[in-house]
Amino acid sequence: MGCLERSEGAGGCGIIRAMLKRLRDTRTCFLLLAVFIILMLTACGANASTPTPTLAPLIETPAPPTATSVPAAAMVNDEVISLEEFNAELLRFQNAQAALGNEVFVEEAGERVLNDLIDQVLLAQAAHEAGYTLGDTELETRVEALAAEIGGAENLSTWLASYGYTSESFRLSLKRAVEAAWMRDTILTDLSGTAEQVHAQQILLYNLETANDIQSKLEAGVDFGDLATAYDPKTNGELGWFPRGYLLEASIEEAAFSLEIGQPSAIIESEVGFHIIMVLERAEDRPLSPDALLTLQEQALKKWLQARRETSRIEQ
Protein backbone atom coordinates (compact mmCIF):
# COMPACT_ATOMS: atom_id res chain seq x y z
CA MET A 1 0.00 0.00 0.00
CA GLY A 2 2.38 2.67 -1.13
CA CYS A 3 6.10 3.15 -0.69
CA LEU A 4 5.89 4.29 2.92
CA GLU A 5 4.70 1.03 4.45
CA ARG A 6 7.15 -1.34 6.09
CA SER A 7 8.38 -4.36 4.15
CA GLU A 8 9.50 -7.74 5.46
CA GLY A 9 13.15 -7.10 4.74
CA ALA A 10 13.49 -3.37 5.34
CA GLY A 11 16.74 -2.31 7.04
CA GLY A 12 17.15 -3.04 10.74
CA CYS A 13 13.51 -4.16 10.94
CA GLY A 14 14.36 -7.05 8.62
CA ILE A 15 16.97 -8.15 11.10
CA ILE A 16 14.58 -7.95 14.04
CA ARG A 17 11.87 -9.80 12.10
CA ALA A 18 14.35 -12.49 11.18
CA MET A 19 15.17 -12.80 14.82
CA LEU A 20 11.48 -13.05 15.81
CA LYS A 21 10.94 -15.79 13.27
CA ARG A 22 14.09 -17.52 14.35
CA LEU A 23 13.01 -17.43 18.01
CA ARG A 24 9.65 -18.91 17.13
CA ASP A 25 11.38 -22.02 15.75
CA THR A 26 13.06 -23.72 18.67
CA ARG A 27 14.82 -26.08 16.29
CA THR A 28 17.12 -23.25 15.18
CA CYS A 29 19.83 -22.96 17.85
CA PHE A 30 23.37 -21.93 18.70
CA LEU A 31 26.43 -23.66 20.22
CA LEU A 32 27.78 -23.55 23.75
CA LEU A 33 30.17 -26.09 25.28
CA ALA A 34 30.03 -26.52 29.05
CA VAL A 35 33.60 -26.92 30.28
CA PHE A 36 34.23 -28.70 33.60
CA ILE A 37 37.75 -28.96 34.94
CA ILE A 38 38.37 -31.51 37.68
CA LEU A 39 41.49 -31.01 39.77
CA MET A 40 42.78 -33.96 41.72
CA LEU A 41 45.14 -33.37 44.59
CA THR A 42 47.41 -36.07 45.93
CA ALA A 43 49.47 -36.15 49.06
CA CYS A 44 52.33 -38.34 50.14
CA GLY A 45 54.11 -38.92 53.41
CA ALA A 46 57.28 -40.57 54.67
CA ASN A 47 57.66 -43.03 57.51
CA ALA A 48 60.48 -42.62 59.96
CA SER A 49 63.10 -45.38 59.60
CA THR A 50 64.94 -44.78 62.86
CA PRO A 51 63.81 -44.20 66.42
CA THR A 52 65.17 -40.66 66.24
CA PRO A 53 63.26 -38.72 63.60
CA THR A 54 65.13 -36.29 61.45
CA LEU A 55 63.80 -33.49 59.26
CA ALA A 56 63.47 -34.44 55.62
CA PRO A 57 64.89 -32.09 53.02
CA LEU A 58 62.39 -29.39 52.00
CA ILE A 59 60.77 -30.24 48.66
CA GLU A 60 58.97 -27.41 46.94
CA THR A 61 55.52 -28.53 45.83
CA PRO A 62 54.61 -27.01 42.46
CA ALA A 63 51.42 -24.96 42.38
CA PRO A 64 48.47 -26.70 40.73
CA PRO A 65 47.98 -25.68 37.11
CA THR A 66 45.69 -22.74 36.48
CA ALA A 67 42.56 -23.68 34.57
CA THR A 68 42.67 -22.31 31.03
CA SER A 69 39.68 -20.11 30.35
CA VAL A 70 37.49 -20.77 27.34
CA PRO A 71 38.35 -18.29 24.54
CA ALA A 72 35.41 -15.91 24.51
CA ALA A 73 33.82 -13.84 21.77
CA ALA A 74 31.80 -11.99 24.41
CA MET A 75 30.86 -12.03 28.09
CA VAL A 76 27.27 -11.23 29.03
CA ASN A 77 26.79 -10.76 32.77
CA ASP A 78 29.66 -13.23 33.34
CA GLU A 79 28.16 -15.77 30.93
CA VAL A 80 30.56 -16.74 28.15
CA ILE A 81 29.71 -16.75 24.47
CA SER A 82 32.63 -18.86 23.36
CA LEU A 83 34.73 -18.07 20.33
CA GLU A 84 34.01 -21.59 19.10
CA GLU A 85 30.27 -20.99 19.33
CA PHE A 86 30.54 -17.63 17.60
CA ASN A 87 32.69 -18.96 14.74
CA ALA A 88 30.36 -21.91 14.17
CA GLU A 89 27.29 -19.68 14.06
CA LEU A 90 29.05 -17.17 11.80
CA LEU A 91 29.87 -19.97 9.36
CA ARG A 92 26.26 -21.16 9.37
CA PHE A 93 25.04 -17.62 8.75
CA GLN A 94 27.47 -17.09 5.86
CA ASN A 95 26.51 -20.41 4.28
CA ALA A 96 22.82 -19.58 4.57
CA GLN A 97 23.32 -16.19 2.94
CA ALA A 98 25.42 -17.71 0.16
CA ALA A 99 22.65 -20.25 -0.52
CA LEU A 100 20.24 -17.34 -0.92
CA GLY A 101 22.63 -15.56 -3.27
CA ASN A 102 23.27 -12.72 -0.81
CA GLU A 103 26.68 -11.11 -0.49
CA VAL A 104 27.61 -10.36 3.10
CA PHE A 105 30.86 -8.76 4.25
CA VAL A 106 32.67 -10.67 6.96
CA GLU A 107 32.80 -7.74 9.39
CA GLU A 108 29.13 -6.97 8.92
CA ALA A 109 28.16 -10.62 9.29
CA GLY A 110 30.29 -11.00 12.42
CA GLU A 111 28.70 -8.00 14.10
CA ARG A 112 25.21 -9.17 13.23
CA VAL A 113 25.78 -12.73 14.49
CA LEU A 114 27.43 -11.62 17.73
CA ASN A 115 24.66 -9.14 18.52
CA ASP A 116 22.07 -11.84 17.84
CA LEU A 117 23.86 -14.20 20.24
CA ILE A 118 24.09 -11.50 22.90
CA ASP A 119 20.36 -10.76 22.56
CA GLN A 120 19.50 -14.44 23.00
CA VAL A 121 21.66 -14.69 26.11
CA LEU A 122 20.00 -11.58 27.58
CA LEU A 123 16.55 -13.03 26.91
CA ALA A 124 17.46 -16.43 28.38
CA GLN A 125 18.97 -14.81 31.48
CA ALA A 126 15.80 -12.78 32.00
CA ALA A 127 13.75 -15.98 31.68
CA HIS A 128 15.79 -17.51 34.51
CA GLU A 129 15.19 -14.42 36.64
CA ALA A 130 11.46 -14.70 35.94
CA GLY A 131 11.50 -18.30 37.15
CA TYR A 132 11.52 -20.22 33.86
CA THR A 133 14.24 -22.74 33.02
CA LEU A 134 13.94 -25.55 30.49
CA GLY A 135 14.47 -28.75 32.48
CA ASP A 136 16.54 -31.72 31.29
CA THR A 137 13.49 -33.92 30.85
CA GLU A 138 11.65 -31.41 28.69
CA LEU A 139 14.82 -30.74 26.71
CA GLU A 140 15.25 -34.45 25.93
CA THR A 141 11.58 -34.68 24.96
CA ARG A 142 12.08 -31.90 22.44
CA VAL A 143 15.21 -33.54 21.02
CA GLU A 144 13.44 -36.89 20.70
CA ALA A 145 10.47 -35.24 18.97
CA LEU A 146 12.80 -33.58 16.49
CA ALA A 147 14.61 -36.86 15.84
CA ALA A 148 11.29 -38.60 15.20
CA GLU A 149 10.22 -35.83 12.83
CA ILE A 150 13.29 -36.18 10.64
CA GLY A 151 13.38 -39.96 10.59
CA GLY A 152 15.26 -41.09 13.70
CA ALA A 153 18.31 -40.48 15.86
CA GLU A 154 20.73 -41.41 13.08
CA ASN A 155 19.27 -38.78 10.75
CA LEU A 156 19.41 -36.22 13.55
CA SER A 157 23.10 -36.98 14.14
CA THR A 158 23.79 -36.55 10.43
CA TRP A 159 21.94 -33.25 10.40
CA LEU A 160 23.81 -31.97 13.45
CA ALA A 161 27.18 -32.87 11.95
CA SER A 162 26.33 -31.21 8.64
CA TYR A 163 25.63 -27.94 10.48
CA GLY A 164 28.61 -28.09 12.79
CA TYR A 165 26.82 -29.16 15.97
CA THR A 166 27.78 -31.76 18.54
CA SER A 167 25.12 -33.49 20.60
CA GLU A 168 26.11 -31.41 23.63
CA SER A 169 26.31 -28.07 21.86
CA PHE A 170 22.97 -28.68 20.16
CA ARG A 171 21.23 -29.34 23.47
CA LEU A 172 22.75 -26.29 25.11
CA SER A 173 21.82 -24.01 22.23
CA LEU A 174 18.31 -25.47 22.01
CA LYS A 175 17.85 -24.85 25.72
CA ARG A 176 18.87 -21.21 25.30
CA ALA A 177 16.64 -20.73 22.26
CA VAL A 178 13.58 -22.12 24.06
CA GLU A 179 14.20 -20.00 27.14
CA ALA A 180 14.76 -16.89 25.00
CA ALA A 181 11.52 -17.56 23.11
CA TRP A 182 9.64 -17.91 26.41
CA MET A 183 10.95 -14.52 27.55
CA ARG A 184 10.13 -12.93 24.20
CA ASP A 185 6.52 -14.14 24.47
CA THR A 186 6.36 -12.84 28.05
CA ILE A 187 7.54 -9.40 26.93
CA LEU A 188 4.94 -9.26 24.16
CA THR A 189 2.03 -10.65 26.20
CA ASP A 190 0.86 -7.22 27.35
CA LEU A 191 1.05 -5.70 23.88
CA SER A 192 -2.50 -4.83 22.81
CA GLY A 193 -3.90 -6.07 19.53
CA THR A 194 -5.67 -2.74 18.99
CA ALA A 195 -4.46 0.87 18.73
CA GLU A 196 -5.40 4.35 17.63
CA GLN A 197 -5.16 4.39 13.84
CA VAL A 198 -5.76 6.63 10.86
CA HIS A 199 -6.72 5.80 7.29
CA ALA A 200 -4.78 8.08 4.94
CA GLN A 201 -4.19 8.76 1.27
CA GLN A 202 -1.21 10.48 -0.34
CA ILE A 203 -0.14 12.25 -3.49
CA LEU A 204 3.52 11.45 -4.09
CA LEU A 205 5.47 13.78 -6.38
CA TYR A 206 9.10 13.87 -7.42
CA ASN A 207 9.89 17.55 -7.70
CA LEU A 208 8.98 20.56 -5.60
CA GLU A 209 7.60 22.56 -8.52
CA THR A 210 4.94 19.92 -9.27
CA ALA A 211 4.17 19.60 -5.56
CA ASN A 212 3.55 23.35 -5.32
CA ASP A 213 1.29 23.18 -8.37
CA ILE A 214 -0.77 20.33 -6.83
CA GLN A 215 -1.06 22.20 -3.56
CA SER A 216 -2.42 25.23 -5.43
CA LYS A 217 -5.03 23.02 -7.13
CA LEU A 218 -6.10 21.60 -3.79
CA GLU A 219 -6.47 25.10 -2.37
CA ALA A 220 -8.61 25.95 -5.40
CA GLY A 221 -10.97 23.10 -4.57
CA VAL A 222 -9.80 20.25 -6.82
CA ASP A 223 -10.73 16.88 -5.30
CA PHE A 224 -7.84 15.22 -3.43
CA GLY A 225 -8.88 11.70 -4.45
CA ASP A 226 -8.95 12.61 -8.14
CA LEU A 227 -5.43 14.00 -7.98
CA ALA A 228 -4.16 11.01 -5.98
CA THR A 229 -5.57 8.65 -8.62
CA ALA A 230 -4.10 10.71 -11.44
CA TYR A 231 -0.59 10.44 -10.01
CA ASP A 232 -0.94 6.83 -8.81
CA PRO A 233 -3.63 4.97 -10.82
CA LYS A 234 -2.56 1.61 -9.42
CA THR A 235 -3.12 2.26 -5.68
CA ASN A 236 -4.89 5.65 -5.74
CA GLY A 237 -2.29 6.81 -3.25
CA GLU A 238 -3.71 4.54 -0.53
CA LEU A 239 -1.66 4.30 2.68
CA GLY A 240 -4.38 2.25 4.36
CA TRP A 241 -4.94 2.09 8.11
CA PHE A 242 -1.86 2.39 10.33
CA PRO A 243 -0.98 3.07 14.00
CA ARG A 244 1.76 5.29 15.37
CA GLY A 245 5.19 3.83 14.77
CA TYR A 246 4.26 1.95 11.60
CA LEU A 247 5.34 4.16 8.69
CA LEU A 248 9.01 4.32 7.82
CA GLU A 249 8.86 8.10 7.39
CA ALA A 250 8.21 9.61 10.83
CA SER A 251 7.39 13.08 9.50
CA ILE A 252 4.53 11.73 7.39
CA GLU A 253 3.16 9.74 10.29
CA GLU A 254 3.39 12.76 12.59
CA ALA A 255 1.46 14.86 10.09
CA ALA A 256 -1.18 12.15 9.64
CA PHE A 257 -1.98 12.03 13.36
CA SER A 258 -2.13 15.81 13.65
CA LEU A 259 -4.48 16.43 10.71
CA GLU A 260 -8.25 16.77 10.83
CA ILE A 261 -10.24 14.39 8.63
CA GLY A 262 -10.41 15.73 5.07
CA GLN A 263 -7.65 18.31 5.63
CA PRO A 264 -4.74 18.19 3.11
CA SER A 265 -1.31 18.46 4.66
CA ALA A 266 1.46 20.83 3.77
CA ILE A 267 4.14 19.49 1.43
CA ILE A 268 6.29 16.92 3.26
CA GLU A 269 9.73 16.19 1.85
CA SER A 270 11.26 12.73 2.28
CA GLU A 271 14.05 10.71 0.69
CA VAL A 272 11.67 9.38 -1.96
CA GLY A 273 9.98 12.63 -2.94
CA PHE A 274 7.37 15.20 -1.92
CA HIS A 275 4.16 14.07 -0.22
CA ILE A 276 0.79 15.65 0.36
CA ILE A 277 -1.45 13.50 2.52
CA MET A 278 -5.04 13.51 3.71
CA VAL A 279 -6.64 11.58 6.57
CA LEU A 280 -9.86 9.90 5.42
CA GLU A 281 -10.88 8.17 8.68
CA ARG A 282 -9.75 7.89 12.29
CA ALA A 283 -10.39 5.20 14.95
CA GLU A 284 -9.38 5.26 18.60
CA ASP A 285 -9.22 1.50 19.15
CA ARG A 286 -9.00 -0.39 15.86
CA PRO A 287 -7.64 -3.98 15.57
CA LEU A 288 -4.13 -4.02 14.16
CA SER A 289 -3.37 -5.73 10.88
CA PRO A 290 -0.97 -8.71 11.17
CA ASP A 291 1.84 -6.64 9.63
CA ALA A 292 1.22 -3.66 11.92
CA LEU A 293 1.08 -5.94 14.96
CA LEU A 294 4.39 -7.54 13.98
CA THR A 295 5.94 -4.10 13.55
CA LEU A 296 4.85 -2.99 17.02
CA GLN A 297 6.10 -6.29 18.45
CA GLU A 298 9.48 -5.68 16.85
CA GLN A 299 9.62 -2.23 18.38
CA ALA A 300 8.64 -3.52 21.84
CA LEU A 301 11.28 -6.25 21.72
CA LYS A 302 13.93 -3.86 20.44
CA LYS A 303 13.12 -1.38 23.21
CA TRP A 304 13.34 -4.12 25.85
CA LEU A 305 16.70 -5.33 24.54
CA GLN A 306 18.11 -1.79 24.47
CA ALA A 307 17.08 -1.25 28.08
CA ARG A 308 18.47 -4.64 29.10
CA ARG A 309 21.81 -3.91 27.47
CA GLU A 310 22.08 -0.64 29.39
CA THR A 311 21.84 -2.49 32.72
CA SER A 312 24.01 -5.47 31.75
CA ARG A 313 27.76 -6.09 31.75
CA ILE A 314 28.68 -6.87 28.17
CA GLU A 315 32.28 -7.29 27.02
CA GLN A 316 33.16 -8.09 23.44
- Walk along the chain (316 residues) in steps of 10 and give the mean pLDDT of each run: 44 38 38 30 34 41 53 94 93 92 89 96 97 96 94 93 92 95 94 95 96 96 96 95 94 96 96 97 96 94 96 94
What is residue 86's three-state secondary structure? helix
Domains by residue range for the chain, with CATH = 11-35+70-190+297-315 (1.10.4030.10), 195-287 (3.10.50.40)
40 to 37, 46, 60, 64, 270: CA distances (angstroms) = 10, 21, 18, 9, 69
> What pLDDT sits at residue 165?
93
CA-CA distance, 17 to 170, in Å (whole number)?
23
Model pLDDT, residue 178: 97
Residue-wise pLDDT for 96-140, tens only, equals 999 999 988 888 999 999 999 999 999 999 999 999 999 999 999
Q: Provide the 3-class DSSP secondary structure of residue 312.
A: coil
Q: pLDDT (tens digit, 9 = 90+) per residue, 209-256?
A: 999 999 999 999 999 999 999 999 999 999 999 999 999 999 999 999
- What is the pLDDT at residue 4? 52
CB atoms within 10 A of CB 137: 8
Q: Tell me the H-state helices in the chain.
A: 11-24, 83-99, 106-129, 136-149, 153-162, 167-188, 208-219, 224-231, 250-258, 290-310
Whole-model pTM: value is 0.70
